[in-house]
Amino acid sequence: MGNPRQTVPMPDVAAEPALTKVAHGRPSSGNPVAVLPENEIPTEVVLQARRKSGDKPNPRSASALSRKGARRQTLTRKALSCRGFPYRWGGSRLKSGVDCSGFTRYLYLKLGIQLPHSARLQFSKGTPVAVLEMMPGDLVFFNTKGPLTHVGMYIGDGRFVHASNPKRGINIDRLASRYYKPRFAGARRYTS
């Protein structure tokens, strides 16, 4: 699968306009394949820009970024390994079935973070995240059967993994899908 990209917020892209044209972790020449949000510009590109501008990277902040990135990668890998497990309303055990908030609670317990078993309460406990600032591991919330009745975990590229329903179990969907896009209520972060 290769090494996942580690990302950090970009301090000032106005000074380096070419850095906004990034496709799959490398500055593009000519037409970019994709334009990434500032917070998804790979660490190596940010550090290269800082070296050119004379800023010295802080080794302590680099190791903190590395730890945060590792936690997000762990969370994402764990979530993807759960695909295919069953859905059960009110369930909290992966093998016998989990509901949406039980699934996200299960994932975060692996990091030692205790979340309530309720989409609405998980929404109220997290730190709000703008759509363009979402990172893998952030939780995404939806108004499906009422306000804040569904939750999943963002995994990048506009996709999220969630305990969907009894027919589909734990699977991946797109935020921009016809069903989820109009029902999107926001994103929350629980790791710094």
With bands split at pLDDT 50, 70 and 90, how would you rate the model's confidence at 126? very high
- What's phi and psi for 187, nearest 5 deg? -130, 155
Do the domain assignments include residue 3?
no
Lowest mean pLDDT among 108-112, 157-161, 184-188: 108-112
Distance (Å) of CA 130 to CA 53, 60, 78, 127, 140? 29, 27, 24, 10, 11
Beta strands in 33-116, from DSSP E residues, in sequence order: 92-93, 97-98
Do the domain assignments include residue 134?
yes
Give the pLDDT of residue 19: 31
Do the domain assignments include residue 62?
no
The top-scoring range by mean pLDDT among 21-25, 37-41, 182-186 is 182-186
CB atoms near residue 64 (< 10 Å): 12
Please state the rounded mean pLDDT for residues 138-167. Answer: 95
From the candidates 24, 82, 100, 117, give the one annotated as an active-site residue: 100
From the candidates 24, 82, 117, 162, give the one annotated as an active-site residue: 162
Give the pLDDT of residue 191: 65
Do the domain assignments include residue 49?
yes
Per the annotation, the verdict on 117 as an active-site residue is no
Cβ-based neighbours of 42, under 8 Å, separated by 6 or more:
5, 6, 7, 22, 25
Same domain for 139 and 180, yes or no, is yes
Range of the domain at 144: 86-189
7 class by beta-carbon count within 10 Å (0-12 exposed, 13-18 middle, 19+ buried): buried
Per the annotation, the verdict on 24 as an active-site residue is no
| Whole-angstrom distance, CA of residue 142 vs CA of residue 164 | 12
From the candidates 24, 82, 117, 150, give the one annotated as an active-site residue: 150
- Residues 169-180 pLDDT 10s: 999 999 999 999
Same domain for 101 and 182, yes or no, is yes
pLDDT for residue 28 is more than 80: no
Structurally, the chain folds into a number of domains equal to 2
Give the pLDDT of residue 66: 61
